[in-house]
Each structure stands twice: as structure tokens, then as C-alpha cells.
Structure 1
Amino acid sequence: MPEPGGAPGLGEAVRRWAAQLAHTDGVGLSADRLEELLHDVVRDVVQPVEAAREAAIRRFSALYSTSPMGIALADPAGQIVEVNAALGALLGYKPEELLGRHLTELGFSRRDVEGLRNGLEELEETDSEQHRERLQLIHADDAGTWADVTLTTLPGDRPGSTFPVLMVLDAGEVHSLQETLRHQSVHDALTGLSNGSRFNTLLESALSPSARDQIAMVYLDIDGFKVINDGLGAGVGDQVLRGIARKLKEVFAGPDTLVARLSGDGFGILLRGKLNPSDVIGLVEQALEELGEPIYIGDHGIGVSASVGIVVRDVGDGGPEDLQRAAEIALHRAKEAGKAQWMLFDPELDARDRARYRLGAEIAGALENGEFSLIYQPTVKLADHGELAAVNAGLRWHHRQLGELDSSEFYPLADTTGMTIPLGKWLLTQSLAAAARWRERYGDAAPDVCVRLPRRLAIDPDLVRLVKDQLDEHHLPAKTLRLCTDSGSLLDPRGEVLESLSVLSDLGAKLVLTVSGSADLELIPKHELKVEHAVLSGPVVDALADGEDEIAARTLDQLIVRARELKLRIGAEGVLTTEHAERLRAHGVLAARGPFIATSATDDEVDELIERHAR
């Protein structure tokens, strides 16, 4: 009879047990009968188990062969013995072409081979049930294919033995998408350059404790880029930026160099290695020359200029913030110097600038704490040096550590910190208060007060109301106030200064124009300004300081003739000596100020001058 379940050797085992049981005490059945009974037992017990085992094998085989996941079964040594169709399709091979290879041979690069080897060792030497990693596997077209790899084991035929299994999912599209997203996160979408985030990351890495040699940072800002955007449109501006990026990458193409777009029209370049300032400056000058070459977009040939800040230092001389700050300071200095040029960071200049910036930051507190006072420049009539025509009011700062500071030392800083208008308003209100006090004490002998309005205050919408309120509060006639300006303010293209001065002139304030040549005078009829006084300044006055210069005198005479035609009263500033004043008076100058009278005067000194004239 056939063996139960078709298992080899099972019939022999049944006969052996039947013969043994037939000779056991108490058993009355023959060996043949016992063999029949044992066959029945085996058939009832073993056949279902065998059937289930065969069904499981069939299910596993179907799953293995039809699975979309690539699978490779290996022997205990790691040699591939079975490969399903999915793995073959993923790697571009017929399954049988992969048989006999070691699992590690499926790695594309040395790194990938090492990853597979480490995974197999981890499974063998630890209790890990699986090892997962994203690797590149070989492909029939000699290129790698990205895959999510899982290594695990199946139990072997003998107790304790295992068979390695490789399971693979295609990660090409996912990896490509992740790489795209990663690239987008660290690159500028418009130019393709690195962005600020990547720039800062690499900067920190370049300044790590293990870094050596030198580092250079170049900050480059395109001059007047808004003109391109506003004049030709943002689309053209974008094309220009792409052209700029391309040129910068061509110039700064070294192996340890990074070019990044940090802002709208701002770029940063990071260089590492054995560097010296002259080499970096040479690259910057080459870049500026390239940027000046037109980029043709349609009919427009567009060239640009740039301001550049440069820092070159050893990597151990400060952190990322120090380096960035130094580059920004050098860039600002390049812009202040007139743009279209580079500046190398200078530590000594930086130390002086820090002191200046600290001073600028203290202005608001000093104004609130009463550290400012008025200081005056007396203007006298040249026919009688004892008679005051006006006093020009200015500010002096009584600094707690630095002592007395003139306006030239802090006014430029006030402009950068937004304190110009508060200082200007304080100067105006205090000057009118002083004028009211003099008028009350000395009557008609009191001088006019002249205030030079900072441009920001001159265009402030509250200026007219402020002047009118102060005049009303102190019961002063508007003619007591002289407002001084210059040609630079009048040439403001938006005309805001002209508008303010015209309104104040209508209120009765006297307008004073500082002039250095005939072109300045011609601004008066051109803009129909109600200027009453012209103050000569600069070379036209300086030329007569040491004697009568024929050419200078002729120029002066022409100015004075034109000023009289415009019905202006003529003064001068910067007059050094009594002889200098006399030469100017002989040509028709009526009043002057300068060292020949006093460089400056306090409230008490002005009182003394007024009293002396009154007596």
C-alpha cells in the first residue's frame, strides 16, 4: 500500500513499529493488523499536516513570484539561490542572471557594497531581525538605481541555521523627489545659486574648530537695481539677476568656493583655502568688470555696477557673526564712498566706526537728559562790526565722557539713527525761545535767528505747523526767523523742500540761500523763491583771504551784481580776519560771520554782543 502523504521512509517506520508492538505483552493483534491500524492513524494525523504544509509552500511561492517587491533568497553563505521577477525587472536583469552572485555584489558603489555587507554582519552578530537602508543597487544599464533595501533571515533546515533574504522597493522616484526638495530648500529658485540658508551652514562649517588656513567673504550688492525693475519691468530684472549669477559663478569657480544669492539683488561669495587679500581683490575686480559688460535682453543691453565688501582672515579670528558683520561694514563703506567699487574690511576703521555708532545710539537719551544746548555763530554788519545782523543757531552736545561735541560730530549719525527730526525740532523751538527772550530784553536791537533746516525736517509735514505754533507761543513776528538752505536741497527732484520753504516764506519767514557760484543764484528766479539773503561760501570767499586776487575779485563782483539784480542782501561766511572782511566789504558784501568775529558764542556771549551794540 502507498505510504501516507507520500513521505519517503514513512511506510518502513510504520512496519517497524507494528512489528515491535506485536511482541509487546498484552497485545493480541498480529503485526499485519497493527500495521493497518498505524497506517490509519498516520493517514488521519500526518496527511492534513502535510497538506497544510504543501498549501503554505504554494502560497509562499505565489506570493514570492508575484510580489511587486523584489526578493532574493540566498544560502547561508550569502550566495543568491532564488530571485523573483520583480527584482529582475527593477535591476534590468533576467532573474537567472543574478543567481550565484553574492548579495553584496548587488551594491552599485563601494559605499553601497559596504552597506550590504554591514547589514548582513549585523543580522549574523546581533539579535536584530532586520536591517533597513536606502542604497543604490546595480542595474543592467551600468547605472545605479535607488532602492529601499531590507535584509532579514529565514530559518534553515537544521536547527539554528538561517538563510539571508534581500527585499527591495524601488525608491528612485521618492529619492528624486526628496533630492529635488532638498535642492530647493538650499538653492535660490530664480538663479539656481545657493541660498542664504546653505551659505550660513557652510560658513559655520568653514569656521569649525578643525578648520585651517584662511577664509574670505565677499558681499556684493547691485547698485540701483530698482531702476531696472521699475524702468524695464520685474521680468527683465529677473533675467538680469540670472545673468549676474552666471557671471559670478564663472569668475568665482574655485573648488572651495560658494556663490549664493542672499537677498533680492545681494550676493555672497565664500572662499576657503590658502588665501591672501590681493588674490581675492583680483577676483572681485574681474567680477565687477564682467558685470559691467551688457547683458542683452531683447533690444536692451543692460550692464550693472556693484558695491562690494571684502573680508579676508584666518579661520580662527572670529565666528560667523563676526565675519558677516565685517563684510557688511565693508559693503556699507563702499556704498558711502560712491558705489561701484570694493572696500576691504579695516579693523582700525571698524574700531573708530564702533565708537561713532555708539555715539549715534546715545543721541536719543542725551536729548531727553538735557545734554544738548544752543551754540551760535554771530553775523555782523561789515559797516559796523559791533552790530549784530543775525545769529546762526546750532547744537552742541555736552557728552558725559567725551566732553563738548560740535554738530559736525553727531549730526551725520543722527541722520542714520532717525534722530535728525527730533534734533531739528529741538533746535528750532529753542532758537525761537532765545529770539523771544532777546526781543523782550533788547527790543529792536535783538538779532534775527537763523536756522539751517536738515532736509528731513524741511520736508516733514508737521514743520509749518510747528513754526507757526512756536511763533504764536512766543509772540514773535515771522520775520524774526531766517531759514537757511543750499542749492543741493533746492535741487531735490521731488520738490518737497521747495514747497516747505515757499509756505514758510508766505508766513513771513526770511529765506537765506548759501551760494558758491552763479548757478546757485539762478535757482531763485527759476523756482520763483522769495529769497531775501544770499550768503557767499566756499572758494569765492576763500580766494580773498590772503589778498586781492584779480580773477577771484572779478568772479565775486559778477556774483554781487547778479545778487543785487535779484534784490538780495549779500553776506559771507568763513571770513577769517578783519582784513579779509574789509576786502569783501569793498566789493559790496554787507555782513559776514567767521573767526574774525567769533567761531562760536554761547547765550551769555550773544547777550554781551547785543548789549555792547545797544550801548
Structure 2
Amino acid sequence: MSAEPDGPEGRVRRLTTIWSRAVYPVTSTSLPRAEFEERLLPLAHRLSRALRAHSFDAGEARAVGAALVEAHGTDPEVLARTLDCVDAYLVLYCGDDSPQDQLRMRSSRLQHAMAAGYAQALRERTLAEQESIAQAALRAQGVVAEALHASEARFRAVFEGAAIGIGIADLDGNVLQVNGALQRMFGVSESTMRGRKVRDWTHPEDAPQTWRLYEELVRGERDHYHVEKAFNRTDGTALWTNLTVSLLRDADGTPQYQMAMLEDTTERRLLHLRLRYEATHDALTGLPNRTLFFERLEKALAAGEGQRFGLCYLDLDGFKAINDSLGHAAGDRLLVEVADRLQSCTTAPGEMVARLGGDEFVALTTGRDTERTVEELAERIGNALLTPVGIDGRDLLVRGSLGIVEGPAGERTAAEVLRSADITMYRAKSAGGNRAELADPEADARAITRHGLTTALPSALERGEFFIEYQPLVHLGDGTVSGAEALVRWLHPQHGVLGPDRFIPLAEHTGLIVPLGRWVLEESIRQARAWREKTAGPLRINVNLSPCQLTHPGLVQDTVDILERAGVTPDALCLEVTESALIGADDGLLKPLRRLAEMGVDIALDDFGTGYSNLANLRRLPVSVLKLDRSFTQGMQQYPADPVDLKIVEGIVSLAHSLDLAVTVEGVETSAQADQLRLLGCDTAQGWYYARPGPPEHLHTLALADATG
């Protein structure tokens, strides 16, 4: 049954027909074209499935590339025409409803994998053929020698009928005879070649051992050798060959002649060079890619004593916005223009520029004076980006963040150098971008530690490495414990106990703050219930709320569910939100807090006085507690207390009480502070004067100071 023309099978069949028509003329297959097309059909199906697969599988495309070699598609033009065909028609005939950009990217990756598979298969086939030729050369040596001794006619038949080039010379290197295949390889007549000496064919790319092996052979010290060798043709082009040279002896074993057998590998080598170029260069910009850059960097780092290197890691600022607003085509044109400008910056010996991917470029300089040259290189890069790039009638300003690493060769690996440059570049970007930063080992170490903590965070929550300590909140009027603030800690396997300042910002950056915050709230509410069951009076638990949690749609429902599961009333919970998180907050952000406050949950404005909020805004915020920052109490540690601090605290307490807000003070460390705060009318306090944060079972056994004096 034939496939429906517009069905999936029919479209794959059309792709196969186009493919076979393109490559059949340049194959060496003995099959008719119709049978060759049938051989390509399952390969087209494999490409179609790989294009639409959920995850990319380079193995499928590599297998297709290898299958082309098996189908006698060893001419480099077979691969070139195949890649052109796949690029033009695979997405057209075999794509699905996925975005076109995504399909095009997948097709491009498949083409690279096909080329890699083709190159690997061709290389393996070449190695096998080389071995066969070497064995054939040994056999031919005996056959030709026997023919020479037995019959001139037999010798001529073997010599002229050979498919590979054969030449015979005496031991002084005078060329005596060449067959037709060798004449065609060099493009000259027999008489021209017979007038030359073997030594005339020295080539600049000859391997060091080539002529040593030759001398050993003509001296009778070896019977044959095999090398890869280049020759210069009369038209100026290079002829690359697999060369086997054998020594011919007479019946008594005395050396008489030398015989060379040559297989033309020029096109195979050109294909290898093309594939090597494609594997080491960026398809869009033509710059060296990450692979080639790492090769050059490793070579620079392995240089001898006294050699140094300098590296500039560039990331374009705001490139994503250009891509999103003007489209990927405009983004690609911008990258090409930037690449051209960067290439013009690296023209000195020992300099190169590469594209690592996306909008990231790297420039390398080597030598003995890179402390100076890398600064000059960075300045040239900065100047190259000053002129706007014109695209589609728009002048786009290009800015970049640059991380610079410089140092002696031999002290670090390529991966360590690039990591340092990457960290430094992001430091420049974090400082506002459009600037250069020089690598700092201490900053690198901090960044590496941060990265390690970031990657360990998700599994740390799963493994139960977090725990909560509680610091008492003391009523200043009678010194009783009215509640406690929950403070999360991380017991890290390598770094020990980490405070929230070490990992909360990382959790906020990665989004893990939502599940971590939910866990802290759940554990704290469970602990509040346990306290209420053990004590006569109710204890309130204070839990810090991250700005990221404020915007999470599940905040209110999560809180309600946790309270209900624990059987705890909302008045047992106080959520602390920093003043900075609520500066300029709109009704959308305040809505979940209002709902929680209406339920009976207290909302505390934490670190009050450190931000720049208008005091009039307090009336619109759903808060019931102000927590004064510890900076207001520092001036009360000595006697007499700082009168300015006293006036400020007195004013805030008066304002808060007039708005029916309670006042809690953080950072109380001395009895003088506690006495003064009580006289000023503060309601509750916490700090080391009363107790340091500790495990929940210690909360009611702590020897609390008498807050009333």
C-alpha cells in the first residue's frame, strides 16, 4: 500500500526522494537509484523521529552519518549535499507543531551530529583501508620482485594494471618507472617524472621521521615503511597520500630498487579539515568556538617558564531584550557585527577571540607581558562596542560586562581560569554592567562557595539539613516570655552551621525560598502548638516572610492549611515582613497580608527605620507591630544614652501607639538598654541580654534576666 502523499509517511518519502536525487550521482554504489533510495528511507525515518523526539539524541544522527559511509557515500560531496538537503527539507517535511526556531535549532544539532558520525565512520574505514594497503604493498613487493625476475611481460601487467600509483627508483633516488595511476595523480607525463629525483619531493609538512625512514630503507636497514605524505603538484595544489615504500632485492637478497605505492587521500583530508573546522568554529559568526578556545588556552597554560596569559570574558548587557523585542534574526545580526569588531581587536601574535555561546565571547592574549597587553586588549574591546550597531533602521547601543583574568602559565587549569573569568564577569554585571573587573582570588572563592551552596540547597531540604532555633520575645513590663522568633539554620556537611544571611539570598534567587519558607512555617506552628500544650499562657511564634513569598499565589492558602492541620488559631502567628519589601507596595502585594490580618494573624514591620518609607504609609499597611532595628538601641548601651537616639525612639513609640501598633525592639544586649526601652514605652524586646537563639526545649528553662529591674 502506498503512503498518503500528505501523510507523515508520504512526507518522509518525499524527503528521501529529494535526498537520493541529490547524493546518488556522487556515490560509488552499484545499486540502481531506486534501490539506493529505499536504502535511504529508514535513515530519513530516523532523522524524522530524532527531529520530533522529546529529548535530543545525537546518537541517532551519528548513526545516519555512519550509514552514508556504509552505503558507499565516501565522496565528501555526499556529506555536503546531505547536509544541504537536511537543512532545507527536514523541518519542512518532518516538523511538527513545535516552534519553528526550536525545530531549526534541533535540525542544526542533528546536522552537526551527522557530520561527526560520518567523519568517525570514514576515519575508521580509512584506517582499515590503510592497513589493507600496507598488507597489499607487502604482497605486491613479492609479486613485483618475482615478476621482475621471471618475466618482463608479467611485471608490466602487474605494474600498469594497479589501481594505485606505483613508482620505481634506484637506490640513488633516480626515478626509473611510473605507472599511469601515478601520472594521473601528479598530472604530468611519464617522461617528466622519470627525470626527477626522489629527494625533489620534499614537502614543508613532511613528518620528521619521513626522510630518516627513507635513508634507512635505501641503506638496506629496513624493507619497507608507511607514512602520510604531501606532494606539490605542478599546478600548485597539494597531493596528500598514504605512501608505502618497499625495498626490492635481487635473487641473492642484495638491495636493487625502491618501490613507492601511493593512495590519493587528498579529498578525504579536505573533508577531514572541513569537518574539523565545523567542529571547532561557530556556525553563526565564524569565530573559534569553545572547543578550539579550550585547546588554545590549554596550550597557553602549558607554555614554558616566564610565559603568561591574559583573558577577557565578555557578556553583552541587555542582549535578551533585543532578542525578545526585535527577534532572533536581529539578534544574530548583532552577534555577527560584534564578532567582527572583536576579531579586529585581536590581530597581534598570540591573540585570539572566540564565541563560547549565546552572547558570551572570550579574548585571549599570551606572551611575557600580558599584564600590560590584557589591559590594552580590554580597552580595545570596550572602544569597539562604543559605536551603535545599525539593524533594520535602528541604531542599537551595545554594552558589555568584562571579566579579566591574568597570570603566569602552569599554575591553573583551563577550566579554573575560565571559571574565574566567568565569576569576574558576573561581578562586573552585578555592579551595573558596561564595565570591566579584574579577577580577585578572594571574590572567586566566595563565589565558588556561593555556587556550591546554591546547588546543594534543594537536596539539603530533602535531607533535613535545616533546623530552627528560637529567640525569646520578652514583655518589657513584667519580664515574661510572650513569644519567640523562629530563625532557620543550615547544618551543612562541610561548612557547619550556616546562618540565614549565608543562604536565604541564594534561596530567594533560585526560588527555593517558597518551599523552604513553607517548611519553616510548618515547623514553627507545630512548635507553637507544643508550647501551648505545656504552658498556661499562649505563646506567639514570629516567622520571617521573604519578599519572594509575598508574591507567591499560595501564601494565604498555605498558611491557612498549616494552621488548620496543627490545630492552632491564627493569633498564635506573627509574620514579619521587612520595611524595604513594602516600600511602594501596591494593593496587589498588600492584599494577601490584609487577608491574613483579617483572619487574626499579626503582621510585623521588621527592621523599621532602615528604609525610606513615608511614615504616613503606616496607615495603609495591614501591620500591628513595629520592630525597631537594632541600630536604634546601640546608642543606649552606654550611660548616659545618646539623647538623639532616645528622642527618635520616643517619637516612633508615640506614633506607633497612636496608630494602635505595638513596638518590639531588636538587639537588646544590656540591662541599661532594657531599662531605657521600658521607660520609653516599648512593649517587647529580644536580644542576647535575654537569651541567644537556641533549641525549642530551652526556651522556658533559660535564666531570663528580670526585665523590671
Q: Please classify the TM superposition score into its range, dividing by the shorter chain length.
A: 0.5 to 0.7
Is the contact between residue 486 and residue 513 of structure 1 (CA under 8 Å) also seen in structure 2? Answer: yes
TM-score normalised by the chain length of structure 2: 0.60
Is the contact between residue 488 and residue 499 of structure 2 (CA under 8 Å) also seen in structure 1? Answer: yes
Aligned partner of 2:197 among 102, 106, 112: 102
**Where does residue 407 of structure 2 map in the other structure?**
313
Report 1:526-565 matches (<5 A): 546-547=642-643
**Where does residue 480 of structure 1 map in the other structure?**
572
Is the contact between residue 510 and residue 531 of structure 1 (CA under 8 Å) also seen in structure 2? Answer: yes
Deviations 1:450-505 (A, max 9, x none): 32213455556765454223322443322432323357656999999667546645
**Where does residue 174 of structure 2 map in the other structure?**
79
Note closer, same or farther for the CA distance 1:406–1:163 as it changes in structure 2 (3 Å cut): closer
**Where does residue 228 of structure 1 map in the other structure?**
322
**Counterpart of 1:284 in structure 2: which amino acid?**
A
**Structural RMSD (CA):** 5.4
Structure 1 residue 177 displacement after superposition: 0.7
Report 1:163-182 matches (<5 A): 163-182=257-276
Q: Secondary structure at the match of 2:309?
A: strand
Question: Please, which moves more after superposition, 299-308 or 434-443?
Answer: 434-443
User: Is 2:546 the partner of 1:454?
Assistant: yes
Deviations 1:143-176 (A, max 9, x none): 4333444434556799835333444444332221
Note closer, same or farther for the CA distance 1:575–1:560 as it changes in structure 2 (3 Å cut): farther
Is the contact between residue 218 and residue 247 of structure 2 (CA under 8 Å) also seen in structure 1? Answer: no
Report 1:29-178 matches (<5 A): 53=151, 55-56=153-154, 59=157, 63=160, 69-83=164-178, 87-107=182-202, 109-112=203-206, 117-118=211-212, 120-126=214-220, 130-152=224-246, 160=254, 162-178=256-272
Deviations 1:3-52 (A, max 9, x none): xxxxxxxxxxxxxxxxxxxxxxxxxxxxxxxxxxxxxxxxxxxxxx9xx9
User: Counterparts of 1:465 and 1:57 in 2: how far apart (Å)?
Assistant: 96
**Where does residue 509 of structure 1 map in the other structure?**
601
**Where does residue 470 of structure 2 map in the other structure?**
375
**Where does residue 274 of structure 1 map in the other structure?**
368
Is the contact between residue 575 and residue 603 of structure 2 (CA under 8 Å) also seen in structure 1? Answer: yes
Deviations 1:567-599 (A, max 9, x none): 7847576698689969997xxxx8676779979
User: Is 2:288 the partner of 1:194?
Assistant: yes
User: Counterparts of 1:59 and 1:492 in 2: how far apart (Å)?
Assistant: 97
User: Is 2:278 the partner of 1:184?
Assistant: yes
User: Counterparts of 1:276 and 1:54 in 2: how far apart (Å)?
Assistant: 69
User: Is 2:487 the partner of 1:394?
Assistant: yes
**Counterpart of 2:559 in structure 1: which amino acid?**
V
**Counterpart of 2:169 in structure 1: which amino acid?**
A
User: Counterparts of 1:317 and 1:394 in 2: how far apart (Å)?
Assistant: 43
How many residue pairs end up in the alignment?
Answer: 546
User: Is 2:522 the partner of 1:425?
Assistant: no
**Where does residue 354 of structure 2 map in the other structure?**
260
Q: Secondary structure at the match of 2:385?
A: helix
User: Counterparts of 1:370 and 1:247 in 2: how far apart (Å)?
Assistant: 50
User: Counterparts of 2:666 and 2:304 in 1: how far apart (Å)?
Assistant: 60
TM-score normalised by the chain length of structure 1: 0.68
**Counterpart of 1:427 in structure 2: which amino acid?**
V
Q: Secondary structure at the match of 1:246?
A: helix
User: Counterparts of 1:86 and 1:492 in 2: how far apart (Å)?
Assistant: 86
Structure 1 residue 73 displacement after superposition: 4.0
Structure 1 residue 197 displacement after superposition: 2.8
User: Counterparts of 2:676 and 2:376 in 1: how far apart (Å)?
Assistant: 51
Report 1:242-391 matches (<5 A): 242-277=336-371, 279-350=373-444, 372-376=467-471, 378=473
Structure 1 residue 92 displacement after superposition: 4.4
Note closer, same or farther for the CA distance 1:285–1:135 as it changes in structure 2 (3 Å cut): same
Note closer, same or farther for the CA distance 1:293–1:574 as it changes in structure 2 (3 Å cut): farther
The unaligned stretches of length 5 or more in structure 2 are: 1-146
User: Counterparts of 2:705 and 2:508 in 1: how far apart (Å)?
Assistant: 37
**Counterpart of 2:563 in structure 1: which amino acid?**
L
Q: Secondary structure at the match of 2:286?
A: coil
Aligned partner of 2:501 among 380, 387, 408: 408
Note closer, same or farther for the CA distance 1:335–1:446 as it changes in structure 2 (3 Å cut): farther
User: Counterparts of 1:201 and 1:398 in 2: how far apart (Å)?
Assistant: 41
Is the contact between residue 247 and residue 255 of structure 2 (CA under 8 Å) also seen in structure 1? Answer: no
**Counterpart of 1:480 in structure 2: which amino acid?**
A
User: Is 2:337 the partner of 1:238?
Assistant: no
Is the contact between residue 374 and residue 427 of structure 1 (CA under 8 Å) also seen in structure 2? Answer: no
Structure 1 residue 293 displacement after superposition: 3.7
Is the contact between residue 388 and residue 609 of structure 1 (CA under 8 Å) also seen in structure 2? Answer: no
Point out which structure has higher relative CO (alpha carbons under 8 A, 6+ apart). Answer: 1
Note closer, same or farther for the CA distance 1:100–1:437 as it changes in structure 2 (3 Å cut): closer
User: Counterparts of 2:237 and 2:494 in 1: how far apart (Å)?
Assistant: 73
**Where does residue 115 of structure 2 map in the other structure?**
none
Deviations 1:172-195 (A, max 9, x none): 322211111122222232332333
Determine which structure has more spread, i.e. the larger CA radius of gyration.
Answer: 1
**Counterpart of 1:105 in structure 2: which amino acid?**
D
User: Counterparts of 2:272 and 2:175 in 1: how far apart (Å)?
Assistant: 31
Deviations 1:299-356 (A, max 9, x none): 3333444344333232242444543444444345444444444433333445566777
Q: Secondary structure at the match of 1:140?
A: coil
Structure 1 residue 272 displacement after superposition: 2.8
Is the contact between residue 468 and residue 486 of structure 2 (CA under 8 Å) also seen in structure 1? Answer: no
Is the contact between residue 156 and residue 162 of structure 1 (CA under 8 Å) also seen in structure 2? Answer: yes
Is the contact between residue 220 and residue 267 of structure 1 (CA under 8 Å) also seen in structure 2? Answer: yes
Deviations 1:381-418 (A, max 9, x none): 8xx69698875443467899999865334534555788
Q: Secondary structure at the match of 1:146?
A: strand
Note closer, same or farther for the CA distance 1:246–1:520 as it changes in structure 2 (3 Å cut): farther
Note closer, same or farther for the CA distance 1:84–1:116 as it changes in structure 2 (3 Å cut): farther
User: Counterparts of 1:398 and 1:86 in 2: how far apart (Å)?
Assistant: 77
Question: Please, which moves more after superposition, 449-458 or 432-441?
Answer: 432-441
**Counterpart of 1:189 in structure 2: which amino acid?**
A
Note closer, same or farther for the CA distance 1:131–1:159 as it changes in structure 2 (3 Å cut): closer
**Where does residue 563 of structure 2 map in the other structure?**
471
User: Counterparts of 1:59 and 1:404 in 2: how far apart (Å)?
Assistant: 87
Q: Secondary structure at the match of 1:78?
A: coil
**Counterpart of 2:198 in structure 1: which amino acid?**
L
The unaligned stretches of length 5 or more in structure 1 are: 1-48
Is the contact between residue 104 and residue 116 of structure 1 (CA under 8 Å) also seen in structure 2? Answer: no
Structure 1 residue 607 displacement after superposition: 8.9
Is the contact between residue 504 and residue 513 of structure 2 (CA under 8 Å) also seen in structure 1? Answer: yes
Is the contact between residue 423 and residue 447 of structure 2 (CA under 8 Å) also seen in structure 1? Answer: no
Note closer, same or farther for the CA distance 1:534–1:217 as it changes in structure 2 (3 Å cut): same
Q: Secondary structure at the match of 1:262?
A: strand
Note closer, same or farther for the CA distance 1:491–1:251 as it changes in structure 2 (3 Å cut): farther
